[in-house]
Amino acid sequence: MRLKSWEGMLALLFLATLAANAVLAPEFLTLQNQINLFQLSIEKIILALVMTLVILNAEIDLSVSSVLGLSACVFGYLVHEGVAAPWAVVAALMVGPVAGLINAVLIARMGIPSLVVTLAMLIMFRGVARILVKDQSMGDFPLWFTTLGQKGFLGPIPLSLWLFLGFSVGLGVLLHRTGFGRQVVVIGTNAEVARFSGLDVARVKTTLFVMVSSMAALAGVLYAARLGSVRGDAGVGFELDVITMVLLGGVSIFGGKGSMAGVILSILIILNLRNGMALTNITGHIQTGVIGVLLILSVLGPNLWERVRRG
């Protein structure tokens, strides 16, 4: 019931943002702007979808932005070295499961907290990415590759946006309609209880960390395609935006509570709010501040609501 109300609040906030944008910024409702709005943050939003499952499971993955950067740099480096782009894509995507398994072994098998492990990996993977491409930009990717990242795929909608739609539905179903999804939430609520009731906690956690890293590697390839050029700093700081989207969506940082619908609403709110502020020429510092306030409210909101309800 509490969650339903939070999603209701988010839906209202989303509609309010839409209305304000439509009134204040004449360009807001153009098709190109609507596409740009998703395109500009595409890597973050597909990551937020999987991060939802990780946080519901009472874990966190801070290393996603560095896995993204490493994947993008592996791609850029290999193309630069003369490897055919399709093979470079395959190699870049492989970064995901490998990084995910490293995280998973340390977290699920050795029992080190994910906050610590993924913080270390955030630093390490970024280091590897920077070593790989040094201080250069690597670009000159094949035209078909950048076209995929920048132009319409089916109609005017770019490939990455189709992917986002597909993942939204797919991961929503996985979370709310399958046994695996229920296990994720049960373990997130109380891992001890879950273990005693015979759930393979380590296996579920391993699956989640491999999933989120694989998505990060895919995001890295999309990043390279969208910008047509990569550098060692690709995606720096994205992890915080991703986690913000998940938390604003009403997912509890302690795990167990939250829904995919909430996170998708939160993504829509953040993207539209940023876009509206940009179109009305509000500068970067204020944009960041507004998102910060929103996040605090999103954490305070459900708590206050709970207190009011309990009298």
In angstroms, rounded to a whole number, what is the distance separating the alpha carbons of residues 259 and 264?
9
The DSSP symbol for 255 reads S
The residue within the footprint of other proteins, chosen from 27, 84, 116, 142 (CB under 8 A), is 27
Q: Does 227 bind other proteins (CB under 8 A)?
A: yes
279 binds other proteins (CB under 8 A): yes
Which is closer to other proteins, CB of 12 or CB of 24? 24
Q: Which position has the token pair 């609501």?
A: 305
Of the candidate spans 89-97, 103-111, 280-288, 302-310, the one that interacts with other proteins by CB under 8 A turns out to be 280-288
Q: Does 226 bind other proteins (CB under 8 A)?
A: yes
Residue 40 interacting with other proteins (CB under 8 A) = yes
In angstroms, the CA 188 to CA 162 distance is 30
201 in contact with other proteins (CB under 8 A): no
- Under rule CB under 8 A, residue 157 binds other proteins: no
CA 12 to chain centre: 23
29 binds other proteins (CB under 8 A): no
Residue 178 lies near other proteins (rule: CB under 8 A): no
Pair 235, 75: CB distance under 8 Å: no
Residue 281 engages other proteins in binding (rule: CB under 8 A)? yes
Q: Out of 110, 283, 296, 307, which residue is the one contacting other proteins (CB under 8 A)?
A: 283
Least separation, in Å, of the C-beta of 204 and other proteins?
Answer: 33
Size of the site for other proteins (CB under 8 A): 31
275: exposed, middle or buried (Cβ count in 10 Å: 0-12, 13-18, 19+): buried
Shortest distance (Å) from residue 21 CB to other proteins: 12
Q: Is 103 in the site for other proteins (CB under 8 A)?
A: no
Which residue in the set 231, 243, 262, 302 belongs to the binding site for other proteins (CB under 8 A)?
231
Site pattern 233..252 for other proteins (x: CB under 8 A): xx-xx---------------
Q: Which is nearer to other proteins, 236 or 297 (CB)?
A: 236
- Which residue among 11, 18, 33, 153 contacts other proteins (CB under 8 A)? 33
Rule CB under 8 A: say whether 68 interacts with other proteins. Answer: no
Residue ranges binding other proteins (CB under 8 A): 27, 30, 32-33, 36, 40, 135, 137, 139, 146, 150, 226-234, 236-237, 274-275, 278-279, 281, 283-285, 288
